[in-house]
Amino acid sequence: MQTEKATFAGGCFWCMTPPFEKLDGVSSVVSGYIGGTGPNPTYEDYAQKGYIEAVQISFDPTKVSYQQLLRVFWMQINPADSGGQFADRGPQYRSAIFFHDEKQKQLAENSKTDLAKSGRFSQPIATEILPLTAFYPAEEYHQDYYKKNLLNYESYRLGSGRDQFLKKIWGDAAKRQDPPSSLVEQKKPSRDDLKQRLTPLQFKITQEKGTEPAFNNEYWNNERPGIYVDIVSGEPLFSSLDKYASGTGWPSFTRPLEPGNIVERKDRSLFAARIEVRSKMGDSHLGHVFNDGPPPTGLRYCMNSSALRFIPKEDLEKEGYGQYVPLFKNKN
């Protein structure tokens, strides 16, 4: 399993642990202190030393992306509050993203910009984006506090006003553990609208589980750098960095760009059982996934070109996918 780390501060670290632990691909969430001076802070002195309560997440990027973690992070906090979070006041409870490398920094900044543009908050986004500094795990009794002291945790969380605020801003999405593909909610167009928007072949494939001819489709041999999005919803699905020549005549990928945007279902429409691949938000039929792909995943996501729209790297910013620009830095 590949492992990367993400570090977020969102007020009380008790409340920041559960949303991330429930994500597929997250192996651990550690509560701790970061951003201060002096070694070995404790719960008794971390605020005086300038530390912030935070969580450090270990995750498998082939299952959950850093962008998804960012979206979950934003949906747990009030990013317009510079004086703390909810009932907890003071700089030790302020929100911040601590980036581990330049790629995370760029993705965090793009995500923050997208949130500001979404119009959900009338005040400026106050969440800081800071370089990673020494992270000190908190005392053992703080780890997974919501599991060890459920009644106390639920009482504290209810009294803090966090859930009430998040429901007001995000509605029912605040309760879901799966991160949305966008900070701006979108709805799938009606069937009649799709018939007007899509070509007959696009409609047949995405809405009626059709299959286009091998070697006679738009992207099977496309080698340009960029990303592939759902033709219906625009949600990001695959990257050219994971595309390979499978010899099948359809565009094939070793893994999704955004695993959370992919839904897999058993498909028994032919004689052999297969795994259908659909987009989460658009609910479009995309193709199938097989276990005969190359390393590192051993998977072959065999997609229909007509279910996808390709966005070249030079158009990512103007098309609204600027968060993916860093992926193609120094790539031809």
pLDDT value for 129: 97
Q: Domains (ranges, CATH) in the chain?
A: 4-175 (3.30.1060.10), 191-328 (2.170.150.20)
What is the chain's Cα-based Rg?
22
Top-confidence residue, 125 or 189 = 125
For 157-206, how does the pLDDT look when each residue is reduced to its tens digit (9 = 90+)?
888 999 999 988 887 666 655 455 555 445 567 888 888 889 999 999 99
- Residues identified as active-site: 12, 302
pLDDT at 239 over 90: yes
Do residues 181 and 280 lie in contact, with contact meaning Cβ atoms separated by under 8 Å?
Answer: yes
State pTM to two decimals: 0.60
Query: For the segment 65-110, what is each residue's pLDDT rounded down to a tens digit?
Result: 899 899 999 999 999 999 999 999 999 999 999 999 999 999 999 9
Looking at residue 238, its pLDDT comes to 96
**Over residues 263-279, mean pLDDT:** 83
Is 272 or 157 the better-scoring residue by pLDDT?
157
pLDDT tens-digit profile of 136-168? 999 999 999 999 888 888 888 888 999 999 988
